[in-house]
Amino acid sequence: MKKAGKIIIYAVIALVIVVGGLLSYVKFGLPNVGKAPELKVELTPQRIARGKYLANNVTVCIDCHSTRDWSKLAGPLDSTGIGIGGEKFDDNVGFPGEVEVPNITPFNLKNWTDGELFRAITCGVKKDGSAIFPIMPYTSYSKMDKEDIYSIIAYIRTLPSKVSKPNERKLDFPLNFLVNTMPVKTASQPVPAVSDQLAYGAYLVNSAACRDCHTQEEKGKFIEGMDFAGGRPFKIPGATISSANITPDVESGIGKWTKEAFIARFKAFEKSHELPKVKQGEFQTIMPWNMYAGMKTTDLEAIFAYLKTLKPVKNQVTKFAPLVAANQ
């Protein structure tokens, strides 16, 4: 018995050492995506213009990294808070921890090299080598054309410098360890020719990270067979919003939509000053329609053409569900 007891003790000690070593590696040895590239992006007018279009109307970086006016439908941008960050993800929205989106104006990024920005956007690794939680869809951005990423970098370098210092993030266990396994290596792909509408539409859908919001997740993984079928829940004060089914299913998706109706849906949000006021508990959406409304019509046509090629998935979604008070 004594021998068996010793074996058990040694086994437990070995297990603790192995687990401890593994956790130490995940915590301190990862992420391992390589050093930031040696890079200097020339701020040409063409790059700045392209970056402005992408960051505001396709990848919508400016959405999360700015303040939005949630008193209006779809929360259009607050023009006084462009790039200052501060949007919070915490228990109030079902997030396991607390993350405040950082400032991306020169106030915060002046000491970052262009290579460090490139690595952050495409790999999910900060200047100090720590992992970025993939609220920012860097797994999608990693597949974008390098020149498009350079253009985004050029554009954000031109933003007015504004002072703001969001709080340091706090992630619950085990997410504070697992986050280090999430960064990816850059897998850049060239922008397809606009004339190749389906390939170009697929590129735009990836760049806009449509899959991220329009696909349900379970334990941080997309549910197999539910790509773009909507139903992913997002909590807001007084309600839960669920993303729409954008597969070509004729009953629950966009199977009956025409190209013209699809484009009109976006363009209806083009004028932010005309968006209606919304009170807590009334219908609201977190999709930055006002930003996507600025997308070129030809780009929206390409996105629609690509979405129509997806596998139809029947998934009826309740897009808005107001919370019912406990005493009602």
Whole-number pLDDT of residue 326: 41
Order of strands across the sheet that contains 239-242? 233-236, 239-242, 320-322
Amino acid at 272: S
User: What are the 10-residue block averages of pLDDT along the chain, 328 residues in total?
Assistant: 54 46 46 90 98 98 94 93 90 87 96 98 96 94 98 98 90 88 94 98 98 93 96 92 98 98 97 91 95 98 98 97 63
**pLDDT at residue 29, rounded to an integer:** 52
Q: Tell me, what's the pLDDT at 17?
A: 46
Whole-number Cα distances in Å, 283 to 73, 144, 221, 266, 280: 8, 34, 28, 17, 8
Distance, in Å, from the CA atom of 209 to the CA atom of 253, rounded to the nearest integer, reads: 18
DSSP SS3 for 296: coil
Residues near 138 by Cβ (< 8 Å), separated by ≥ 6? 120, 121, 122, 123, 124, 132, 183, 184
Alpha-carbon distance values, 131 to 30, 136, 226 (Å)? 8, 11, 28
> Which residues make beta-bridge pairs with 277?
72
Q: Helical H runs in 84-171?
A: 106-109, 114-123, 138-141, 146-157
Domain map of the chain by residue range?
1-30, 32-191, 204-328
Rounded Cα gap, residues 191 and 58, in angstroms: 14
Helix (H) or strand (E) holding 5: helix 2-24
Residues 6+ apart with CB under 8 A from 251: 314, 316
214 burial via Cβ count (<10 Å: 0-12, 13-18, 19+): buried
DSSP state of 248: -
Residue type, 80: T
